[in-house]
Amino acid sequence: MNRENFGTRLGAILAAAGSAVGLGNVWRFPIETGQNGGAVFIIIYILCIIFLGMPVMISEFLIGRYTHSNTAGAYRILSKGGQWHWLGKIGVYTGWFILCYYAVVGGWTLHYTYLSLINAFDDVKAAEFSNIFNDFVGNPWIPLLWFYLFMLFTHYVITRGVQSGIERASKILMPTLFIIVIFLAVSAVMLPGASAGVEFLLSPDWSKVDSKTVIEAMGQAFFSLSLGMGCLCTYASYFDESTPLAKTAVHVSVIDTMIAILAGFIIFPSVFNIGMNPNDVGVGASLTFISLPNVFQQALGEGSLMSVIFSSLFYFLLFVAALTSAISLHEVATAYVTEEFGMTRSKGAMLVTVVVLVFGSLCSLSFGPLSNITILNRNIFSVFDDLSGMILLPLGVMFISLFAGWRLDKELYREEISNHGDLPTPYFRLLIFSLRFLIPIAISLVFLDQLGLFKAIFK
Ligand code: PFF
């Protein structure tokens, strides 16, 4: 089959960075940093990226580029008749599964961009922001329509193909995202009282660091780098033979971490400016759609032009970040159905989109008409969110590192990362050590922790 490649190296980096930079950078990382000792958390996070995240990223790149196949095909080729082929299939379905709820939130970012643009938050009392959000997500229609619109954008890019779809979109959207992040961070840091926010984010507080901190940093690093399922493997299957894999992994990780830290510079100065307790801002949806609209109004002047600009740009930024990640999730499944079942790209993309629309609608409606359906006290949306974040992704990362560390031929590994001897690989032994031991042990600790066993053993 004739496969497309990315046309330029920059395009490849921006596409992979687009996958990594997503909602996780903005709505989780800054708050986790704030709550876990500021600079100490950032240092631990960076160590997790270097020693745990990058080896897996390089391995996923290698598996994709070596096979030039969709993720299921890639693991099948490399497992040579063994059982490891399951890993690829599970990766594909994990990505597809994540997209169902991730795109629902993508729809929320569009709605909030619209509300900001029409200045709908003018004159709203602080306590009313949670009603606005709850009424919105509880409405049977409005969130669905925004979700469908978000999927329409994603679908459109995917149907255009690798170069004129994904690569082109990344080359437009990622620079746009960088400019908005820098503009917002600079504006926020110039607010009166902002320095306390910067200090809160960056001053190391060792007293807040414990095993939980390390575990949170690790989980966040994996999610933020889009590891553990097929995204980076699929994108790397469009890399050409001269792409330096380790260097690309460094570029992607640096971009992802910089954006996450800059998001902290947007959020905390604004929070401190209005004298709000940073521990009260919440995390995830409640931070993003309840606390922050209020914070921005008060910090920049209620209903003022500046607050309209700032808040519209902030939600548009979230939208762009979510869109580029959603495109990468969609591509994993599209590449799979087109290559494994011989469909045309447009039919394959349509199948993926329709499935996401069906399950995503259930996720969306689980805040309203379907809120009475719960599993283990979670609504459908949270089942999707928790199952993927807490179980499927960490397991995916663990098995990928076991596969790359133990099963893949070491000579093949070295040949690929050195581009057949063209590039030096002084880090090779450390990389293999990390894949074989460090990562599997670290993730096992996360699972022990989730089962509550960690506390019992290391009390
Ligand atoms: N890395 C994205 C974020 O930080 O929001 C989310 C994500 C995308 C996770 C793709 C996993 C994935 F495969």
Contact 420, 244 (CB under 8 A): no
pLDDT class for 334, splitting at 50, 70, 90? Answer: very high
pLDDT tens digits along 354-406:
999 999 999 999 999 999 999 989 999 999 988 888 889 889 999 999 999 99
Can you tell me the distance from the alpha carbon of 18 to that of 377, in angstroms, rounded to the nearest whole number?
33
User: Could you write out the DSSP letters of every residue in 71-93?
Assistant: HHHHHHHHHTTSTTHHHHHHHHH
Distance 253 CA to ligand 1 centre (A): 13
Q: Is residue 235 scored above 70 in pLDDT? A: yes
pLDDT over threshold 90, residue 203: no
List the beta bridge partners of residue 378: 375
Strand-pairing partners, residue 112, are none
State the average pLDDT for the chain: 94
pLDDT tens track for 36-81: 888 899 999 999 999 999 999 999 999 999 999 999 999 999 999 8
pLDDT in tens, 244-263: 999 999 999 999 999 999 99
The CB of 231 under 6 Å from ligand 1? The reply is yes
Of ligand 1's listed atoms, the one at least distance from the Cα of 23 is 5
372 Cα–ligand 1 center, Å: 28
**Per-residue pLDDT, 435:** 98
Contacts of 11 (CB under 8 A, 6+ apart): 163, 167, 170, 171
Distance between Cα 223 and ligand 1 center (Å): 6
Nearest CA owner, ligand 1 atom 10: 226
**Backbone phi, psi, residue 38, to 5°:** 55, -120
For the Cβ of 325 lying below 6 angstroms from any atom of ligand 1, the answer is yes
- Cα 102 to averaged position of ligand 1 atoms, centre (Å): 9
Please give the Cα distance from 322 to 277 (Å, whole number). 28
Which contiguous run of DSSP H or E holds residue 375?
Answer: strand 374-375
* Distance of alpha carbon 339 from alpha carbon 72, whole angstroms: 10
If you average pLDDT over residues 91-101, what whole number do you get?
96
Atom of ligand 1 nearest to the CA of 321: 5
Cα 446 to averaged position of ligand 1 atoms, centre (Å): 19
Nearest atom, ligand 1, residue 230 CA: 13
| Ligand 1 near 228 CB (within 6 A) | no
379 - beta bridge partners?
Answer: 374
Cα end-to-end span (Å), the chain: 56
Closest ligand 1 atom to Cα of 225: 1
Candidate from 329, 385, 400 with most ligand 1 atoms within 8 A of CB, to mutate: 329
Q: Tokens for 403?
A: 């596969």
Q: What percent of the chain has pLDDT over 90?
A: 81
Residue 97 C-alpha to ligand 1 middle, in angstroms? 12
In this structure, are residues 360 and 147 in contact, taking their beta carbons and an 8 Å threshold?
yes
Distance 60 CA to ligand 1 centre (A): 14
HSE value, Cβ hemisphere, 13 Å, CA-based, for 55: 27
